[in-house]
Amino acid sequence: MKPKEVVEFAKKNDVKFLDLKFIDFPGIWQHTTVPAHRLTEACFEEGFGFDGSSIRGWQPINASDMLIIPDPETAKLDPFTALQTLSVICSVSDPITGQPYSRDPRFVAKKAEAYLRQTGIGDTIFFGPEAEFFIFDKVLFDSGPQGAMYAIDSAEANWNSEREGGNQGYTIRNKEGYFPVAPTDTLVDIRQEIMLTLQNSGVEVEVGHHEVATAGQGEIDCKYARLMQVADQLMWFKYIVKNTAKKYGKTATFMPKPLYGDNGSGMHCHQSIWKEGKPLFAGDGYAGMSNMALWYIGGLIKHSKALAALTNPTTNSYRRLVPGFEAPVNLAYSSRNRSAAIRIPVAGITSPNARRIEVRFPDPSCNPYLAFSAMMMAGLDGIQNKIDPGDPLDKDIYSLSPEELAEVPHMPASLEEALDALEKDHEFLLRGDVFTKDVISTWIEYKRDELNQVRLRPVPYEFFLYYDI
């Protein structure tokens, strides 16, 4: 919609409030709300003021005033407010210069799309993220100088098979949550309501199902879209999943590894580049791919350790990325091998339009604007420099000998390793001024502080291992 159409839409739907949403540096939606009478065509240029020093990773107190500028194309009726509310996603600007704010993740994504067009390689990049999540019945956690704890619970979890009162025997064993029907799958109604709410909000849904882990792991896939649009869409997706779960008296999380001994939550990202309405990843090479697609893969593999600091940006991310389990830590590509970090989907693909790659190591704790932009920049570096991805790895990685496995590079084993890699390898991100040195250094500084806060605290299992030393 254009600004005039948004104003007319609000009047037609008797909107009472305008909710202004924007994403902070780490990747969480923030918002402020104004009465509907303040919604005018002018506000899409003039914006609304806020305190940038109170947002993580942004302004110092002596330069705190900032503006959020609503994007009229993102306007939607909020499905969860009691009073009719129009939600609009905003970009961030400097109130003095009027220029976009360099640390605004949406601005990074906007520059990434512009850089793709500038290279002449393509004019559109599509992303299709598959963000997994857990829906728990209860979560408890605390951390203090005298102790720390967390506890999660789910009626369908296998640890509740002995629970008296209400247990009817249909619990899910570890790693057996993929595709069971009700009553074993207890979340059918919630997922369907999430899917319906997404569709009513203008997000096209493709499929929804229970995922591998016990205790309420799920996945709902939405149709691919261009980079900026799909990042906006992912934020709506998280918002709708969390608020629908709350409506049912449950709690949802996109934390990569909340559950010990079972699968974590990843976010496989399908990607393809197009130009003038034609797909550029289809060809007559391996698995029906073009040289451009294989070079794109080469760039991703080359820069994957640095990418991890943006695609897997939490200490918890590396509880999932552990060698020897199902997580895609092996930096290789394959047409069918799901243990490889990059997969080329082939099942059911008959059209060149569907030719794409699937990057399997990211997780949904990332800031999507930064993560998608970074992956694109790595892929473009591969295309520009014709980086050979090597031979595909079509063998079962788990059956490889130690000598064979030693030749396969791996994802970083920790957030610290990933941040070190980003510090050494980020020149490819600076092209076209997509990322700036300030954005990268601020990200590394913020995440290292987060890392240190975790490092300082004992965890319960250390007492189990070491208390009697």
Report the catalytic residues.
51, 130, 132, 211, 219, 268, 338, 358, 360
Give dist(CA 447, CA 282) in Å, integer. Answer: 38
222 near 206, Cβ under 8 Å? yes
Q: How far apart are CA 324 and CA 398, in angstroms?
A: 7
> 249 — alpha (psi -120 to 50), left (phi > 0) or beta?
left
∠ Cα 412 257 162 (to 5°): 145
CB 194 within 8 A of CB 244: yes
- In this structure, what DSSP letter does residue 351 have? S
Both tokens assigned to 198: 């997404």
Chain-centroid distance, C-alpha 410: 21
Residue bearing tokens 């500084």: 445
Quote the CA–CA distance of 97 and 363 in Å, as a whole number: 36
Confirm if 130 and 268 have CB atoms less than 8 A apart: yes
The secondary structure of residue 289, as a DSSP letter, is: B
Q: How many CB atoms lie within 10 A of CB 161?
A: 12
User: Which phi-psi region, left, alpha or beta, contains residue 213 (left: φ > 0; alpha: ψ -120 to 50)?
Assistant: beta
* Phi, psi of 5, deg, nearest 5: -70, -35
Strand, coil or helix: 145: coil
HSE-CB at 367 with a 13 A cutoff on CA atoms is 23
Structural tokens at position 437: 């040195």
Sign of CA dihedral 200, 206, 209, 213: negative
Which residues have a Cβ under 8 Å from the Cβ of 188 and sit 6 or more positions away? 182
The dihedral of CA 65, 69, 70, 71: what is its sign?
negative
